[in-house]
């Protein structure tokens, strides 16, 4: 009887929320209706999988995560209009279109997406606009083309276009639930998905037209697809992995090494799972043969590998130096008193990497809060972040002991991507934004640590049977 009442209350809550969302979306543009239709489709699939209590939780979580983002996004746009934060490039010779914004990049992406759409539709534009906003490769990202497609299909709506990220932000929480559910059960999955859904910085990116939310969504879609392929061996998950990797590169528009990193992560995951699935004798034999083969390969191609390592390191250092030269508040892990060594040895590189890691994980430090208003606004989240760090360590150790095979892709992704961010970053604001691509992994392991400390019965601590 109680369960029936609870289900009815949850159902009524979802109906009210979805009705409110529909009323808002219908007001703005056909694109808003499209977003709402996709949201309904997501709810349809959620209610076809899992157990009843999981369906109710995920439906409610998705509905609240999406509706809260839409409401806050609208509120932020009204605030921007009220305080006069309206971006318009008409005085520079561009078409006379405007967009409210609170973050500069968000407004730029919106208008550049619009101008690309106008170009695709063969609308008359000045050559200045075409050169600077359409064909100019600088600043062009896959997210701009996503916005351009949205405007081409549904018309220009600077407010409705933000609902794309609202939808993706809510979907990230669903992906995280599915990933964690298969590692440590329901309670960690519930806590992890709630933390991811409402983590302040990730929530904020998802109510703007910034590229971070789509990048985070694609990253964890890749991880989820890799886990699903391992468990089901269905070919279309490989296609999904490939598409998500290519889309991440398109949105990030970083060095081509970004594709390599994601490919390496997935391949290492499949290799590690394959090794851990072997019986003990076969596993030791495979590791020994692989180690000898790798050593032989390294000895033969030592110079080529060192040149490749030096080249990648040089690109990272140049990127780091370029970030510092732009000014602002930045951190330093390389000496500026003398020219940076581009041919540093492996041990020296590990020392530099450890310093960079410290900054990447813990910036902005408390003493930086007084330097700027934007950094000061991060203080509540950073205090929570510092609080979670011990639980993150506990959760990671528990995962190594009990779920190494299942959680290995999270470890690989966190270590490789975080290292890349650390060694190329320097600006505090930029690293605070980019760090959120690995934040869900931190929140997952933190959730496991929290439950282990405060409610250990909520964890399935059956040891992973890799010692066959």
Summarised one tens digit per residue, pLDDT across range 208-236 is: 999 999 999 999 999 999 999 988 888 88
Beta-carbon neighbour count of residue 39 at 10 Å? 24
Q: In which residue are the tokens 């992560």 written?
A: 265
Q: How many CB atoms lie within 10 A of CB 34?
A: 18
Structure tokens at 140: 């062009």
State the pLDDT confidence band at 279, using cuts at 50, 70 and 90. Answer: low
Looking at residue 23, what is its pLDDT? 58
Out of 140, 158, 176, a domain closes at: 158
CB 266 within 8 A of CB 226: yes
SS3 224: helix
Please compute the mean of the pLDDT values over residues 291-318 and round it to a whole number.
68
The domain tally of the chain equals: 2
Asked if residue 145 and residue 265 are part of one domain, the reply reads no
404 lies in some domain: yes
Task: With a cut of 60, say whether residue 28 has pLDDT above it.
Answer: no
Confirm whether 280 is domain-assigned.
Answer: yes
Residue with the bigger pLDDT between 285 and 383: it is 383
For range 326-344, the mean pLDDT: 58
- Model confidence at 450: pLDDT above 50: yes
Tell whether 378 and 272 lie within a shared domain: yes
Long-range pairs, 359-365, Cβ under 8 A, ≥24: 359/331, 359/333, 359/422, 359/425, 359/431, 360/418, 360/421, 360/422, 360/425, 360/431, 360/435, 361/389, 361/418, 361/422, 361/435, 362/386, 363/331, 363/428, 363/431, 363/432, 364/329, 364/428, 364/432
209/148 Cα distance (integer angstroms): 12
Note whether 137 and 224 are same-domain residues.
no
Between 115 and 373, residue with greater pLDDT: 115
Is the pLDDT at 258 greater than 60, yes or no?
yes
C-alpha 274/C-alpha 286 separation (Å) is: 10
401: in domain: yes
pLDDT at 90 > cutoff 90? no
Question: Which of 114, 137, 158 corresponds to the end of one domain?
Answer: 158
Verify that 305 and 414 share a domain, yes or no: yes
Task: Indicate if 370 and 257 belong to the same structural domain.
Answer: yes
Same domain, residue pair 110 and 246: no
Residue range of the domain that includes 330: 213-458
Closest of 423, 412, 416 to residue 359, by C-alpha: 423
Is residue 173 domain-resident? no
Q: Cis omega before residue 51 (within 30°)?
A: no
For residues 291 and 428, membership in a common domain is answered with yes
Q: Is residue 182 part of a domain?
A: no
- What pTM was computed for the model? 0.86
Q: Is residue 9 part of a domain?
A: no
Mean pLDDT of 9-23: 58
- The pLDDT of residue 185: 83
Flag whether pLDDT at 188 surpasses 50. Answer: yes
Same-domain pairing of 105 and 233 = no
> What is the model's pLDDT at position 13?
61
Query: What are residue 100's DSSP bridge partners?
Result: 86
419: left (phi over 0), alpha (psi -120 to 50) or beta: alpha
**For the ranges 12-16, 70-74, 125-129, 364-368, which has the lowest average pLDDT?**
12-16
Are 220 and 176 within 8 A, CB to CB? yes
- pLDDT of the residue at 221: 95
pLDDT of residue 301: 67
- String of DSSP letters for 135-183: S--TT--HHHHHHHHHHHHH---TTGGGHHHHHHHHHHHHHHHHHHHHH
pLDDT exceeds 70 at position 257: no
Whether 152 and 217 share a structural domain: no
Give mean pLDDT, residues 423-431: 75
Position 192 pLDDT exceeds 70: yes
End-to-end CA distance of the chain: 46
Gap between the Cα atoms of 149 and 125, Å rounded: 18
Report the largest interatomic distance among the alpha carbons of the chain, rounded to a whole angstrom. Answer: 74
Q: Return the exposure string of 57-66: e unless at least 16 CB atoms fall within 10 Å of the residue's CB, then b.
A: bbbbbbbbbb
Whether omega before 163 lies within 30 degrees of 0, making that bond cis, reads: no
Half-sphere exposure of 382 toward its Cβ, with a 13 Å CA cutoff? 21
Q: Mean pLDDT across the chain, nearest whole number? A: 82
Q: Does the pLDDT value for residue 338 go beyond 50?
A: no
- Find the helix or strand (DSSP H, E) in which 315 lies: helix 302-325
User: What was the pLDDT predicted at 142?
Assistant: 86
């Amino acid at each position: 009887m109680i369960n029936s009442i609870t289900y009815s209350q949850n159902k009524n809550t979802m109906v009210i929320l979805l009705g409110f969302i529909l009323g808002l979306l219908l007001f703005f543009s056909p694109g808003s209706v499209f977003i709402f239709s996709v949201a309904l489709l997501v709810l349809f699939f959620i209610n076809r999988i899992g157990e009843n209590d999981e369906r109710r939780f995920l439906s409610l979580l998705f509905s609240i995560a999406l509706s809260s983002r839409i409401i806050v996004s609208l509120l932020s746009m009204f605030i921007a209009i009220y305080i006069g934060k309206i971006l318009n490039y008409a005085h520079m010779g561009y078409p006379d279109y405007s967009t409210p914004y609170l973050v500069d990049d968000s407004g730029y992406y919106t208008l550049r997406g619009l101008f690309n759409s106008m170009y695709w539709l063969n609308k008359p534009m000045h050559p200045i606009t075409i050169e600077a906003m359409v064909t100019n490769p600088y600043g062009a990202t896959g997210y701009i083309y996503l916005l351009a497609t949205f405007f081409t299909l549904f018309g220009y709506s600077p407010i409705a276009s933000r609902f794309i990220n609202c939808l993706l932000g809510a979907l990230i929480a669903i992906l995280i639930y599915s990933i964690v559910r298969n590692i440590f059960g329901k309670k960690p999955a519930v806590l992890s998905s709630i933390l991811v859904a409402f983590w302040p910085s990730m929530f904020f990116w998802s109510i703007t037209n910034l590229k971070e939310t789509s990048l985070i969504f694609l990253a964890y879609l890749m991880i989820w697809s890799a886990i699903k392929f391992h468990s089901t061996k269905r070919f279309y998950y490989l296609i999904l992995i490939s598409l998500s990797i290519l889309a991440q590169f398109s949105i990030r528009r970083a060095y081509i090494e970004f594709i390599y990193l994601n490919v390496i992560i997935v391949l290492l995951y499949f290799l590690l799972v394959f090794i851990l699935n072997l019986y003990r004798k076969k596993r030791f034999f495979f590791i020994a043969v692989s180690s000898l083969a790798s050593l032989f390969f390294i000895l033969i191609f030592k110079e080529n590998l060192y040149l490749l390592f030096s080249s990648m390191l040089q690109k990272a250092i140049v990127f780091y130096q370029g970030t510092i030269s732009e000014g602002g508040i930045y951190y330093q892990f390389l000496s500026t008193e003398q020219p940076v060594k581009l041919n540093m040895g492996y041990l020296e590189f590990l020392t530099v990497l450890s310093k960079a890691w410290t900054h990447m994980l813990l910036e902005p430090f408390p003493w930086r809060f007084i330097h700027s208003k934007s950094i000061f606004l991060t203080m509540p989240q950073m205090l929570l972040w510092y609080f979670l760090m011990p639980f993150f360590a506990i959760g990671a150790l528990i995962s190594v002991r009990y779920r190494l095979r299942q959680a290995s892709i999270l470890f690989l992704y966190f270590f490789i991507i975080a290292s890349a961010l650390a060694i190329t970053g320097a600006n505090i604001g930029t690293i605070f934004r980019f760090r959120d691509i690995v934040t869900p992994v931190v929140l997952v392991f933190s959730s496991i640590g929290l439950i282990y400390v405060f409610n250990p019965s909520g964890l399935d601590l059956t040891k992973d049977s890799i010692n066959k």
